[in-house]
Structure 1
Amino acid sequence: MKETGYIVSTNGEYASVVFKRGSACGENCGSCKGGCEVSAVTTQIKNTLGANVGDKVKVTLEQKVFNKMILWVYVFPLVMMVIGIGFGINVFKDAGYKNYELFSFLLGMVALAISYLILNIVSKKMRNNNDCSLRMVEVIKG
């Protein structure tokens, strides 16, 4: 994954880089007339290139790492919720509860909450892993 952003501030060996988020219409907002607002995301990146405030930089993240992050953020919570609901249906139906669907749904929501707690722990461990971080690869002159 490659993105281009602007450095808005530097602090020691780190730089705050702003990335413009892509719009749903593919940056052709004049044709869709949806009126969506394109927001920006700011993140701290190690300034390995010695870039200065106002510089445009190209930032990269290895595709394998990006795919792993997507799997953790989107697929893992969904799987946990489905497992919770499926387990709840089997347990509560066999136990003779009339509202087994409601109890199963609630168990699925508990499993979803647990998945987010697990994701929080994984996120803290990944933050310390240099393989999972964004890297500046080029200062774009322009």
Structure 2
Amino acid sequence: MTEEGYITSIQGDYASVIVKRKSGCGDNCASCKGGCTQPSVTTEVKNTLGASKGDKVKVSIEEKALNKLVFWAYVFPLIMMAIGIGGGTSFFKGAGYENYEMLSFLLGMVLLAVSYLILKIINEKKSQNKETTLKMVEIIRD
């Protein structure tokens, strides 16, 4: 996946790049008329091309790395919640609780919260590592 961004600053070997997020209608807002505004995202990218502040650049991420990020951000918490609800239903129903559905739901929510704590720890370790999956591909000259 390749996106265009704008370099706002350079710190050592890394550039701060602002990338406009895609809207749900595929950035064809004139036909959508939904009135949505998409905020931009600022990220750090290794400045492998020697770009300078104010340059417009293309940044890319490998499909495998993107799929991995999507799994950890969306699928992993959903799996944890399903394990909590399913496992809680079996356990609490087997233990004879009358309100086993509510208890299993609460257990699912607890495991969902635990999954986000796990993701926060993983994110902090990755950000300290400065190993980025985004790569600067090209400087766009207008």
TM-score by length of 2: 0.92
Partner of 1:62: 62
Structure 2 residue matching 1:42: 3-state secondary structure = strand
Whole-Å Cα distance in 1 between the matches of residues 42 and 61 of structure 2?
16
Partner of 2:112: 112
Cα RMSD (Å): 1.4
Whole-Å Cα distance in 2 between the matches of residues 6 and 129 of structure 1?
20
Partner of 1:32: 32
Aligned pairs for 1:24-103 within 5 A: 24-103=24-103
* Range with bigger deviation, 4-13 or 96-105: 4-13
Q: Please report how far the alpha carbon of residue 55 of structure 1 lies from its aligned counterpart in structure 2 after TM superposition.
A: 0.7
Whole-Å Cα distance in 2 between the matches of residues 32 and 2 of structure 1?
24
Structure 1 residue matching 2:66: 3-state secondary structure = helix
Whole-Å Cα distance in 2 between the matches of residues 126 and 97 of structure 1?
42
1:40-76 per-position Cα deviation (integer Å, ceiling 9, x unaligned): 1111111111111111111111111111111111111
* Range with bigger deviation, 19-28 or 102-111: 19-28
Percent identity of equivalent pairs: 61
Q: Please report how far the alpha carbon of residue 122 of structure 1 lies from its aligned counterpart in structure 2 after TM superposition.
A: 2.3
Q: Please report how far the alpha carbon of residue 106 of structure 1 lies from its aligned counterpart in structure 2 after TM superposition.
A: 0.3
Do the aligned partners of residues 42 and 70 (structure 1) sit closer, same or farther apart at CA in structure 2, a change above 3 Å counting? same
Whole-Å Cα distance in 1 between the matches of residues 12 and 118 of structure 2?
32
Whole-Å Cα distance in 1 between the matches of residues 126 and 70 of structure 2?
13
Q: Please report how far the alpha carbon of residue 35 of structure 1 lies from its aligned counterpart in structure 2 after TM superposition.
A: 0.7
TM-score by length of 1: 0.92
Whole-Å Cα distance in 2 between the matches of residues 53 and 125 of structure 1?
28
Gaps of 5+ in 2: none
Q: Please report how far the alpha carbon of residue 129 of structure 1 lies from its aligned counterpart in structure 2 after TM superposition.
A: 6.7
Q: Please report how far the alpha carbon of residue 107 of structure 1 lies from its aligned counterpart in structure 2 after TM superposition.
A: 0.2
Length, aligned pairs only: 141
